């Protein structure tokens, strides 16, 4: 058997393993999973894959690797330990061989990139999987029928997608908006009112979450005026101290858990 035939057989066997793993996990959503694969972009854009941390906790990058690759994701991060040694709760990360070139292609800095020597992805048919130790966490496979090059695709919908760093959401009841969505919001909330009168109408916020939530009051310029940490399972109405605002007009309530954040405005009237 020549080398090319051996490599094709090796790739096929891994694809079969990933396929049956996918069947076994069909009803489960792992904490960490693929959300986009771009295996055949137009040059010079480098190949890249997007991974999302759906859990409510930070995940150490050194615990994970792409199966069939020896180095863990933290290998390119250097020896110094920093907060970047984890994938934050609800954070999206892009993996690529060339972070500088991909950053230039994207044109914005809001999404996190990690350089990783994952080899060249097969344009015709291939597969990739995330491993934690010897366990397969998530996997994806593609062929010519998956998507037409140079488009990337979302493994969870099977459709073409090019939204680096962006995840759609569903609410706690699983309600879906237009299109297919795949990220569950880590908390739900509601305001008692969107129009508040100074010294007359109180503003209260109801937060329901299994994770800690940071609640902030922002002025019309987006500057933080007050904050508090909402404990998990508190499920209670919280009074917002509006005396921290210096004037009337539009103000904002910010709620965040990990990298997931929601911002809602309200009107403060005399």
DSSP string, 35-79: EEEESSPPTTSPPEEEEEE-SSS-EEGGGEEETT-SS-GGGGG-S
* 141 & 194 share domain: no
Of the residues 125, 157, 183, the one at which a domain ends: 183
Of the residues 183, 218, 246, the one at which a domain ends: 183
* 70 & 157 share domain: yes
* 30 & 116 share domain: yes
* 47 & 177 share domain: yes
Minimal CA–CA distance to 87: which of 120, 111, 105? 111
The domain that holds 215 is classified in CATH as 2.60.40.2550
* 77 & 147 share domain: yes
CA–CA separation, 88 vs 74, rounded Å? 14
* 254 & 203 share domain: yes
* 40 & 105 share domain: yes
* 60 & 178 share domain: yes
**Per-run averaged pLDDT (10 residues), the chain, 270 residues:** 51 47 52 94 92 90 89 70 76 93 85 89 92 92 91 90 75 40 73 86 90 92 93 91 89 89 88
Encoding tokens for residue 208?
A: 């329901």
Instruction: Report pLDDT for 1.
Output: 56
Q: How many domains does the chain have?
A: 2
Encoding tokens for residue 19?
A: 């396929």
Domain that residue 246 falls in: 186-269
Neighbours of 129 (CB within 10 A): 22
Of the residues 137, 163, 183, the one at which a domain ends: 183
Instruction: Report pLDDT for 56.
Output: 79
Instruction: Report pLDDT for 110.
Output: 78
Encoding tokens for residue 133?
A: 């130790």
* 171 & 212 share domain: no
Instruction: Please name the residue that has the structure tokens 């994701």.
Output: 73
* 8 & 114 share domain: yes
* 40 & 143 share domain: yes
């Amino acid at each position: 058997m020549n080398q090319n035939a051996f490599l094709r057989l090796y790739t096929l066997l891994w694809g079969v393993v990933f396929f049956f793993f996918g069947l076994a996990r069909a009803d489960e959503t792992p904490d960490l999973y693929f959300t986009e694969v771009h295996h055949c972009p137009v040059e010079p854009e480098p190949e890249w894959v997007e991974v999302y941390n759906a859990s409510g906790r930070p995940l150490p990058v050194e615990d994970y690797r792409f199966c069939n690759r020896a180095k863990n994701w933290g290998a390119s991060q250097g020896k110094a330990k920093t907060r970047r040694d984890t994938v934050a709760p609800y954070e999206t990360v892009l993996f690529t061989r060339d972070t500088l070139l991909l950053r230039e292609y994207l044109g914005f800095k809001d999404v996190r990139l990690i350089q990783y020597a994952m080899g060249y992805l097969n344009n015709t048919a291939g597969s990739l999987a995330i491993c934690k130790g010897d366990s397969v966490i998530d996997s994806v496979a593609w062929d010519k029928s998956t998507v037409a090059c140079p488009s990337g695709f979302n493994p969870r919908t099977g459709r073409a997608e090019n939204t680096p760093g962006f995840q759609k959401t569903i609410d706690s009841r699983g309600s879906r908006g237009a299109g297919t969505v795949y990220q569950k919001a880590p908390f739900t909330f509601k305001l008692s009112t969107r129009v508040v009168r100074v010294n007359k109408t109180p503003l209260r916020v109801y937060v329901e979450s299994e994770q800690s939530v940071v609640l902030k009051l922002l002025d019309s310029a987006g500057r933080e005026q007050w904050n508090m940490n909402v404990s998990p399972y508190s499920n209670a109405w919280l009074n917002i101290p509006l005396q921290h605002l210096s004037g009337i007009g539009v103000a904002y309530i910010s709620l965040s858990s990990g990298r997931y954040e929601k911002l809602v405005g309200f009107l403060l009237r005399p």
